[in-house]
Structure 1
Amino acid sequence: MAITRTIFWRRLDTDGLERLLVTEDDHGIFVKGTILTTENGGCRLDHDWRLDSNWATLRAAVSREGADGQKTLRLDRAGASWTVNGQTRPDLDGASDVDLSLTPFCNTLALRRLMGTGGDRIMLDIAYIDGATLSVARSRQAYDRINNRCFRYRDLGLAMGFEALIDVDDRGFVTRYEGLFERRG
């Protein structure tokens, strides 16, 4: 039996809204999101994910439509390796997951890992997708547990020095991302 959740987030730093559908069934976890934002001249960004039962990304597809036209991107996991638009990317080998800017959804992937371990800290190498350009680069992130519903995010890579507190619900979905997002439904 499939279970579907609908989540809305509002941007706090600019005008923007996201609608996310998360469906869990016997075949895995499927996520579809649509973001509308005025950031970087404004755009609509659609993202579509296939996750395994442990919430690890198997495939992420992104399309962006903005003033600079339309772009698409697809990442696929093959064991510890990744392909981007069908091309092998050795620089991403071993990256534990994908992080798409413009959405707090990707924090759920890392936070569910940390919540499942009972530990106080997790550091991850990730395949980071810049939502403005749809470029992909390896980066590093850390999450520190403040309590069971609050975590500190620290960027140790592309945006080194950036930190924010993230509050989550019992499923690991962001309810508030300091200065950037808040859940609306």
Structure 2
Amino acid sequence: MEQLQPETKQINLLWEGHHYKSVENCVVTIQEKGTEITAVVIGDSGEKPFRLDYTIRTNQKWETVFFDIKSQFDDQRVELSFESDGKGNWTDHGKPLEEFKGCIDIDISLTPFTNTLPIRRLGSKLKTEQEIKVIYFDILKQRVRPNLQAYIALTDFCYQYRNINNGYEALLTVDEQGLVVVYPSRFIRGTHVESNY
């Protein structure tokens, strides 16, 4: 008897960035074993153009296990590629990265996608506020550092995000997949297409 293959869901979407003038095409491929996200962001910081290409992989629990980031800002190009066991133990080409120990999620400054990682991973735990530690990538300043954040679900489609380090807060509107629809004053989602195969 022929066995049925697990279904794959693919979401292809666009975000417009307002804080910086940018556009992102992001493809989210959700499978039984985990999720892969590939995206490109291009934009203008007001003075200089930028481009960001990223790939993120998670396991079936939405714990981040791999990312690759390539960024070009003005004449500076940076590439980072880290792996994790999904529990916050990171390596860079096999070398342990102790400064990021305990960071299960990542946060990339130029995309709203990375807000989806803790929203999907924590799920119903977000009925109460959850503090998390992330690897934060400030692409335009070319800085990488640990960062403390907090999330709480106000409704099924609205989450309060808080940057504990600097006090910044935002109310994020998301869809049923936990993908950002509106990030006030920063990002708004445009066209998106979902398909199963």
Is TM > 0.5 for Structure 1 vs Structure 2? yes
* Higher RCO (C-alpha under 8 Å, 6+ residues apart): 2
1:26 Cα deviation from its structure 2 partner: 3.8
Which amino acid in 2 is paired with 1:180? R
Unaligned runs of 5+ in 2: 1-6, 192-197
Counterpart for residue 175 of structure 1 = 181
The alpha carbon displacement at 1:12 in A equals: 1.8
Q: Give the partner amino acid of 2:170.
A: A
The aligned residue for residue 151 of structure 2 is 143
Q: 1:181 to 1:52 in 2, by over 3 A?
A: same
C-alpha contact (below 8 Å) 1:114/1:121 kept by paired residues:
no
Q: Counterparts of 1:152-171 in structure 2 under 5 Å?
A: 152-157=160-165, 160-171=166-177
* Number of aligned residues: 183
Other-structure match for 1:60 = 67
Q: Secondary structure at the match of 1:55?
A: coil
- How far apart in 2 are the matches of 1:147 and 1:45? 32
In the alignment, the residues of structure 2 paired with residue 29 and residue 102 of structure 1 have an alpha-carbon distance, to the nearest angstrom, of: 20
* Structure 2 residue 98 is matched with structure 1 residue 90: yes
Conserved? CA contact 1:73–1:134, under 8 Å: no
State how far apart, in whole Å, the 2-side matches of 1:116 and 1:60 are: 25
Amino acid at match of 2:151: Y
TM-score (norm. length: structure 2) = 0.86
How far apart, CA to CA, are the structure 2 residues paired with 1:134 and 1:173?
26
- 2:53 is aligned to 46
Q: Distance in 1 between matches of 2:126 and 2:105?
A: 20
- Paired position in structure 1 for 2:29: 23
SS of the residue corresponding to residue 110 of structure 1 reads helix
Amino acid aligned to 2:15: W
1:125–1:141 CA contact under 8 A, matched in 2? yes
> Please, what TM-score do these two structures have when normalized by structure 1?
0.91
Q: Which moved more, 1:165-174 or 1:26-35?
A: 26-35
**Structure 1: 5+ residue stretches without partners:** none
Q: Secondary structure at the match of 2:127?
A: coil
Q: Match for 1:125 among 130, 133, 136?
A: 133
CA RMSD of aligned residues (A): 1.7
